[in-house]
Structure formats: C-alpha cells, structure tokens
Chains A and B, each alone.
Chain A
C-alpha cells in the first residue's frame, strides 16, 4: 500500500479547486478538505451505459475523485466497439460490458469501487435508483433516456404541492453521433426534463411502404424492402432478423443487390446494408471523450458545489472548426412527465376512435409513445381499454380499437392512464371534448 503522503499528493490537482475559494465559486461553496472526502467516500454515482460514453465516464469520474460508482448495461462486447470503448480488449469480446469496464477501472485506479449491473435499467426498482446522488446517462436509446427520466421524476417527493429538494437526483445526459454531441443537466422537477424537450430528437427516418414496394429510388429503399417484406415472406432462417448474425446480413445484402439491379439503382454496399438493418450510428473515440468529459465536469461541480452547473444544455459540433452552443432549455408548463398537471388531449370529433387516440399518442412530437396501454375509471370501475403488450389482454380489448371514445363510456374531463415503455409509471391524460353538441 502507498502511504498517506502519496494519497495526499495524488489528489493535489483536485484539492486546489476544492480547498481554495475563488471569485467564481458558487456562493454556497465552502472550501474544505471534507468535500474531497465526500467525493471519495460517500458520493454515489450511477452511470447508465458502458459503451463509448460509459467507458470514458468511468475513467473521468474515477480521476475526478469519485469512487462509489455503479454501472449498468445489459450488452456484451463486440468487435466494432473496440475503436472507442477503450476499457475493452479483443479477448473481452462476448463478455458483459459493465463487468469488464468495472473490473478494469478498479484495477487501474486504486481505491475505486465500481459495481457492475449486467441487466436492463427496467430490471431495477425505485429503491435501487433512490440510493444515488447523481445519475449520468451515456445512452444511444431515447426510450431508455425517457424511462430513466420518468424514474427520477417518480422519486420526487411533494409536500403540499411543494417539491422536497432533498428528493431531487440530478441527471446528467450525454449523447453523441459522429462529430456532434450534446450534454445536458437536468434537475428533475426543477428544470426542463427529457420529455419537456422531446421534440428536439429528430424523428427516425422511415420510408413509406408504397415507396419501398412500388417506386424504390435509393439503395435504402431496396434494403428496407428485403427487411420488411421479403424476409417475413421467405423466412430464410425461420427467425426474426438478427443484425449481428452475418448470415442474416449476407442474405439481406444479396437480395437487396438483386432488387437494386432489377430497378437500376446504384450504390448499394454491404456497409450500407449493415447500417440500415442495424440502424448504425457512426461513432468515433474523440467525440465520446469530449462529451463524457463534459458530463464528468458537471458531476464534479454538482457534487462539490464548487462552481455553477451548465445551464442547462450544450451542443458540440467539430466538423467545421469547433462549435459549441449553450442555452437554457425551458421547462414545459404542461409536460406530461414533470409538470404535476394532467395533460389535456383535445378531442375534436365525436367519431374519434380509440385507435385514433393511440395513433395520436404515438405520433404527437411531444409524446412519441411506442405501444401505449390505456386504462380508465369508467362508471366507478377501472377498465382496460387496450393493451398491446400482453397477448391475452390484447385479444380481449382489440374490439375496443374501433369503438369511439363516447361508446367506450369516456366523457369530457375523463382521465386516462397511459402506460408505455418510455415511462416507468403511467401518465394521466385528461380528455377535453372540443366539438359542439350539434356535431353529434
């Protein structure tokens, strides 16, 4: 073991900013030796995702004095991770990302205590999430971000409508794509949350079915055709497409080439097929390093309160020089997730069917649900209107889809509970019938 003198000097860089006061510190900051001790011994951080950002985050946090770190990721290591996920080696391919990453950090940074969880975020309950001081997300999935956002919001405690500040667990969110990235700091219940700014995420590129079936023009149209129409029809391997199975990709590639040739479409490559089938987002080590570092800086500032936090959104683009832009994303007054106000949904026709409502929930830019399950209190009973995720219930409630809301017993002012994979707890929607009675 190294002596305390070594330990003292090891953290001398951090101690300068934690044990000295400065003109730009937060007004409530008290320089002391206790802050570093708090970071080292008590401050518990959860890192979500052990990918490109997650690996960087563990290193950054470990060298910024954090030692009580948990990491959660369900994925295993693949060859294409190694160009940026620097805690993994060739021999680790197939192993759990969270486990290998934790082990590496614990051996490289003495005293660091990273605990790994190889599972889905949905497998952990409120008690797990409640133990952390800060949660940092390094995810490529919007659904997972929304779920965590919802989880942290569900941990908030309100007393007489007043938010209990001690129940707020800050969420730092990083994201990258190619040479672009963003960092945001969310104080659940206090500042804009993921759902408040959901329309910032660009909608996923989709191709109309009629284009891919009848009038393909791009190589992507040919690949989509094979994926969506030809695969289910021919079912070559008697299973769903696995983007990681080279045999599957080969089959799709070969069929797409045939289709492209048939229509005279140029430019279909194997790389493009992989990209479309697996929805691959380009990624490079440098951008992940930059964004993760900015997240770690925010965690350090929040935990030590030595400086003000990023307020509250930063975007980065280093294609043309280096461009950063910082702005304050605004909290939405009627945010479904964080406003405490049931969201009103305007129904403008008596013919509005349950199916229309579900479609509306999936397509509205500020809701973007995936497969919502709906229940409501009707005539004093809790009734399931529709639920896709459970086969037996789906079958039983399918007939409701073509019924109008009125036929289902819903009235102006009725509240509907909506469950979806984008949120850990159901949200409440309030129906507002805006058509006049003469329409009926």
Chain B
C-alpha cells in the first residue's frame, strides 16, 4: 500500500472499563461524573444501593453521614454490611465496603447524626454537587431542604416502606443542554431553506437525470422539489391529512415509469413519501425554547449569570438577527437511500451551515462576555457548539422547596384533593407517607413496627392522617385499607424495593451531575405490588 495505514488509537484502561456507559453520556459526561462529590445521608439499604450505582460508573467522591450503629435488621436488607459488623458505625462499614467496588472513587464518612451536623456545622453541605437523604425525620428534612434550597444544590429525598417507594427531587433551577430525546425530529428546513441548500437543490433537475441517478437522489431533494411545486400552486405548505396525502400521491406519480408504463418502485421516492408526515411542516422554535429565550434570566444577564444563560442570550440575539427568526441549524442528516457522492454533498451543505451558525453564536457570546466584563475564555467555544447542536431540545426545570410542603400556610393541597378523586391515583401513597412521618415524629417508631401494636397503630396512623388533611383543609380519607397496609409493613425495608428505587435515584443524581437527561419533576411514587408508578408535582 502506498500511504502508511492510519494508526489505531491507544485505548486507555479507563476507556475500556467505562466503555458501555461512555456510549451513553460521552467523555464529557464521564468527566463531569468524575468531578462530582455526592453526600448520602443514612447508609440504609436504600442509601447504599444508590451509592452502588454511583460508585460503579465512577463518581468522583462520596461522603456518608450516618450516626447509627449496624444492627442485625440492617444486615438482613443491606448488602454493604457484614455479619460481623453488628455494633460498628454503619457509615464506616458501608463506606469501606462500597469503596471496594471501584478504586477510582474516593469516599469518606461522618459518624454523626445528620441532625447534629445540621445544627452544629450548617456549612457542611455547601460543597456537595448533590445531596441524597434516605430515612430522614420530618424536622431534619425541613431544615436540610431550606439549607440546600438557598445554596441551589439539588436534594433527592428517598424512602421505601414495604412495597412502596417514594422519591422527591428538590432543585431551584436546573438547565439541560443534552436531553437525549428518544424521537428527535430532523432539522431540515425544507420550508425555509438556507441559501446554500436552495442553490444546491436548484442545481438538480430531476427530469434530466439518468435512470440510475434518478433513483439515487436523496429523498430530501425529492421532497423539496415536490414541496416547491406544491407551494407554487397552493401558496402554502400542506397542512391537513388530506393535503399531505395529495402531496404523497404527487411524489408517487413522480417515480420513473418503465417501457410498459409501470411505475418503478424507487426507494428514494418511497422514503420521500414516508417523510411527508415527519419532515413537512413549519420550521419554528418550539414553545419551551421560546420560553427559555424570553426568560428574565436570559434577557437580563448579569456578571453572575451562568454560561447557560449567556449562551442562551447569544442564541436569542442570533435568532433575532442572522437567524432570521430560526435557531442555529442542527446540521445533521438522517441516513437515506442515495449514492455516496450525492449524500455526502448534501450532508456537507447542512454541516457547513451549522458551523457558520454556531460561529455567529460564538461571536455573539464573546460580545456578551465583553459587555459583562468577563474574560473571553470563561466560556469555551465547544460549549457554544454543543448548545447550538442541541438548541431545539434544551430544557430548564424550576422546582419547589420541600420545606413548603410542611408549611400549611403555603402548601396548596388542591392538587392532592383532585388526584384523590381518581381511586387509582398513587397520590394516596403520598398522603399516607406524610401520615407515617407525622406518626414517627409523634411516637418515635414506625406504625406497626412492633408485632403487638399493629391494630392500635392503625387507629393512631389514621388519626395522624386525619389531622394532616384537616391542616390542608381537606375532608377525611376513607381509604382504611391503605392505612392498614402500611401498619402491616411496620416500616419494613424490603431489599428489592430499595434496589429498584436505589437505581432510579442514582440515575437522577447522574442527570444532575452530567447535566444530561431530564430529571423527575418532582415527586415519584412506585408500588411494587402492581409495578405501577406515578409522577406528581408539588
């Protein structure tokens, strides 16, 4: 061979070990994960299961806060404790055993009750990326929630009792650039072609093509041509199902006919027909993106604005100027039947336009940084490119403070009442779990914790729930069987239920840490008996 063969890159051990997940969140997601420090309050089975799914993929560091000593009950449900660890610090044993999973991870522990830390060293939580609390008492939860709300550090609160799992996510504001939507609509701009695309398609004359070339034109061009023809005669895009069917028919009739006047099945034309439903429409900015671009945080930048908002403002300025009302082009093409040369040419046209759009946004970003008195290297160009590539799917989530749910002056229970009208609603579990918390505060045990107290506890738990409901201004609950069921559970932690929620909670942590994927908004409830789950917003 004339030219020397290109060398294969050396694969690092780390790349090989994390290969299966790097394919999901990329090297930049992994770097973010490795830079994160998460705090877990209470090394319950749920707590260690969450940590397991963070230590394995290689989170930077964790800290366990737990003042309890290991009991026999703990060992029955918690994999990261050993029989001979009874009586030792639960935080210490769990930390040691979790660290065995991955030598890349650092871990430490505080053998103190979370309450003590909250009261004695309130700054303790300031530097964590995410805080996760399991099995935390009402009063401490409220304090912790307020503290982290002020700091804008995400807090994930989890608990499982019997077959029921609950997770509440608290985050003031969370921005996601890479949401990884399952079904992404391609950004093709057939209705509003940019100059180079228009020029290219104009240069193709379908009728003048040879038989072979005709069947190797990318469907995009076919679709463009027929759409152009349509608009010429009707004045606007096909809208209704009927009009779209007519356009499809036009395309079908455009297939070359053979000597017997039988239409040839040309794959590219078939693809164009199929694409009518997904690719023909008005190119516009999705509503949620418009809202982000019109957000106060975007319009009124300050020196404290995060890079997300600065880039968002640059995109907004782009839209209002160079973009002509449209977002920067995504620049990727779906695969389509075509010969190599025709496909690559078209691909390059989209790619180059996307680069040009991203450069324009980058220039605007630099301009904004100058205006804000920030250095030009405070936002790397690749971040701007990433933002532009995903501009159609960016997401801003704004949450609520957990403490507000415990303040009946601000808590709005109308949502609960409404949900409970549906007998199948999983909202019932929220109400009962709140009742269980109240029970714990009042009696310092779980309802049904002791075998001889199940029946009396049913009455007491009911009273707790009735009291709660009246504080919320709701009528009494007539679902005694659910109350009974929770007393049967007696606060039992079933390992497989905690394993289920543990995996999900770890994934929510990863979402916050990598700034990828959309987190739960904001309360998740799961019933392991039916395998049903529900998401609620408080």
Contacts and interface: CB of A to CB of B under 8 A. Distances in A.
A20 interface: yes
Contacts of A11: 76
B24 interface: yes
Contacts of B20: 80, 83-84, 280-284
Contacts of A164: none
B139 interface: no
A297 B257 CA distance: 61
- How many of chain A's residues touch chain B, expressed as a range? 35 or more
Given A23-B484, A257-B6, A293 B73 contact: no
B76 A63 contact: yes
A286 B17 contact: no
A285 B454 contact: no
Interface in A262-311: 263-266, 270-271, 274-275, 280-290, 292-294, 296-297, 300-301, 307-308, 310
Nearest to B332: A267
Interface in A1-51: 2, 5-6, 9-14, 16-17, 20-24
Nearest to B346: A217
Given A9-B73, A293-B496, A319-B517, A254 B8 contact: yes
Interface stretch (A188-196, A321-329, A339-347, A420-428): A321-329
A16 B448 contact: yes
Contacts of B56: 82-84, 86, 285
A60 interface: yes
B60 interface: no
A86 B340 contact: no
B162 to A, nearest CB: 6
Interface string B1-44: 00001111101010011111111100000000000000000000
Interface string A236-268: 000000000010011001110110000111100
Interface in B466-490: 481-482, 484-485, 488-490
Contacts, number: 261
Contacts of A310: 530-531
Given A271-B19, A271-B22, A285 B182 contact: no
Given A79-B16, A80-B20, A83-B56, A289 B5 contact: no
A129 interface: no
Contacts of A361: none
B23 A280 contact: yes
B82 A108 contact: yes
A16 B335 contact: no
Interface string B480-505: 01101100111011111111101110
A178 interface: yes
A280 B524 CA distance: 31
A297 B495 CA distance: 9
A274 B9 CA distance: 12
Nearest to B16: A79
A110 interface: yes
Contacts of B73: 9-10, 12-13
A95 interface: no
B224 interface: no
A254 B7 contact: yes
Contact of A24 (B76, B336, B485, B524): B485
Given A83-B58, A284-B21, A297 B481 contact: no
A246 B77 contact: no
Contact of A13 (B8, B76, B531): B76
Nearest to A269: B9
Interface in B326-353: 335-340, 343-344, 347, 351
Contact of A108 (B79, B347, B495): B79
Interface centre among B13, B53, B521 (most CB of A within 10 A): B53
B283 interface: no
Contacts of B503: 285-290, 293
A18 B367 CA distance: 67
B400 interface: no
Contacts of B76: 9-14, 63
User: Nearest 10 pairs between A and B by C-beta?
Assistant: A289-B503, A293-B499, A290-B503, A23-B481, A63-B495, A293-B500, A9-B72, A250-B8, A10-B76, A22-B488
Given A17-B489, A270-B8, 4 more contacts: A266-B347, A289-B49, A324-B532, A326-B531
13 contacts: A11-B76, A16-B162, A21-B488, A22-B484, A63-B79, A79-B17, A80-B16, A215-B338, A250-B8, A266-B347, A286-B503, A319-B180, A320-B518
Interface of A: 2, 5-6, 9-14, 16-17, 20-24, 56, 59-60, 63-64, 79-80, 82-84, 86, 89-90, 108-110, 178-179, 183, 211, 214-218, 246, 249-250, 253-255, 257-258, 263-266, 270-271, 274-275, 280-290, 292-294, 296-297, 300-301, 307-308, 310, 314, 317-322, 324, 326
